[in-house]
Amino acid sequence: MSKAGSIVAQRPPATYRAALLFGFPLLVLALGHMLSNLLRTLPAVATDVISVDIGVTAASLASLTGAYHIAFAAGQIPVGVALDRYGVRTVSLTLFAIVTAGAVLAATVGGASGFLAAQVVLGIGCCGMLLCPMTLAAKLLTPQQFGLWSGLIQGVGNTGMLLSASPLAWLIEHHGWRAGFWAAAIFAVVIAALVTFFVSNESPGPAMTRRAIRSEAREVVRIGLSPQLRGIVVLAFSSFAAAIAVRGLWGGPWLMDMRHLGRIEAGNALLPLTIALVVGPMIYGIVDRRSGSRRKLLVVGHLVAALVLFVVASARPGGWMSQWLGGAVLPVGVDVSAFLLFGAAIAVQPLLFAMGRAVVSPEHAGKALAAINLSFFAGAAVVQSLTSPIAAAWGLPAVMVFLGAVLLVATWTFAFLTRKSGG
């Protein structure tokens, strides 16, 4: 462990210099999560041009991008084991090399099969971009401090969604969708250089290096299925799935197809939602540390997010809310405001990591966080794949209703399974 890490493990940073030594490596690693968010949300502002270029429908593109989440989920167990076994810096640099290769592949190959292969490579490369800073923070901080920092890491990482809104929409409009992947490859190389210079690699203990990799992988599954994490895993399965389906795939088509906005206008309309996803985790981290109401925040936030999606579906032109108002077409500002509220509510999801961290010891932090992250992205893969046939059969309003229903069921299950934990 680095000297800065030893200081923080003993006590919170007492000076500006100590805080900088501790915080800067975490923020550098969080840039990897930013890149991951940019890559997974890029299709939201380029669905039409990507689908035409590679010769598929928009609904089929949803299935292709779902491969990213499947690969991402599949990588959680080996990455969780590797983080505890080989250290954050080694794992992080390996992942950035894979992301660079995936981004170049996406920018150069053609056809649906080439795009699918690129999504798989990118999913593998990005699968540990959030786990790396989270694991470093979990090893250095107490569970009480971890809630605040997990929100900060998630907020910094979510700025990738800001880049994939108006800036990326402009880049795609003027230089094509492949330019977005070239930009991502350049970002990956730059961030990897920062990791090389500013992140120290902690060494695992002797007991950790002697353990068989297979037994460590089983430990990830065991931790994820334990009674302490069961409710957390259930809510994680739907939480990120709904957020990424709205922001990363269907938000742009909704605004362009249902509200007839142009690409850059749709990117601008998604900015409030994106800002909420950036700022919200930081605010929830502060509230959590001061209030101690982590479970209540998670329940209320996800219930509100579910109800907002029902409102979005009903407020569309021709929806029941429009009919109730005498056939009036509600302004697009209703959708923008609803998406903003959705983002502000579901931004509470990083507290699921804090809940999981609180029930494990620091040496198993990587595996516990990997189990939760596995549920996050397994849910995204499954739910996003299901939205494709739903959109094809019943349209985008049905997708919004489906996502809201998934959130409602998962939130009720989480509240039931964690009812003895209080908060």
Q: Which residues contact 169 (CB under 8 A, 6 or more apart)?
A: 45, 263, 264, 266, 267, 268
pLDDT of amino acid 2: 43
Q: Which residues contact 66 (CB under 8 A, 6 or more apart)?
A: 381, 384, 385, 388
Q: Rounded to an integer, what distance in angstroms lies between the CA atom of residue 61 and that of residue 281?
A: 30
Please say whether the structural domain 16-198+213-417 has been given the CATH code 1.20.1250.20: yes
Q: What is the residue-wise DSSP string for 163-222? A: HTTHHHHHHHHHH-HHHHHHHHHHHHHHHHHHHHHH-PPPPPPHHHHHS-HHHHHHHHHH
pLDDT of amino acid 16: 47
Q: Rounded to an integer, what distance in angstroms lies between the CA atom of residue 333 and that of residue 163?
A: 22
pLDDT of amino acid 225: 77
Q: Which amino acid is at 212?
A: A
pLDDT of amino acid 307: 95
What backbone phi and psi angles, to 5 degrees, belong to 416?
-70, -45
Domain-wise residue ranges, the chain? 16-198+213-417
pLDDT of amino acid 410: 96
Supply the angle between the helices 332-346 and 294-314 in degrees, to the nearest 10: 160
pLDDT, tens digit, 9 for 90 and up, residues 173-226 = 888 889 989 999 999 999 999 999 988 876 555 444 545 566 767 777 787 777
Positions of the chain with pLDDT lower than 70, given as ranges: 1-22, 44, 143-144, 164-165, 202-214, 216, 317-329, 362-366, 421-423
pLDDT of amino acid 117: 92
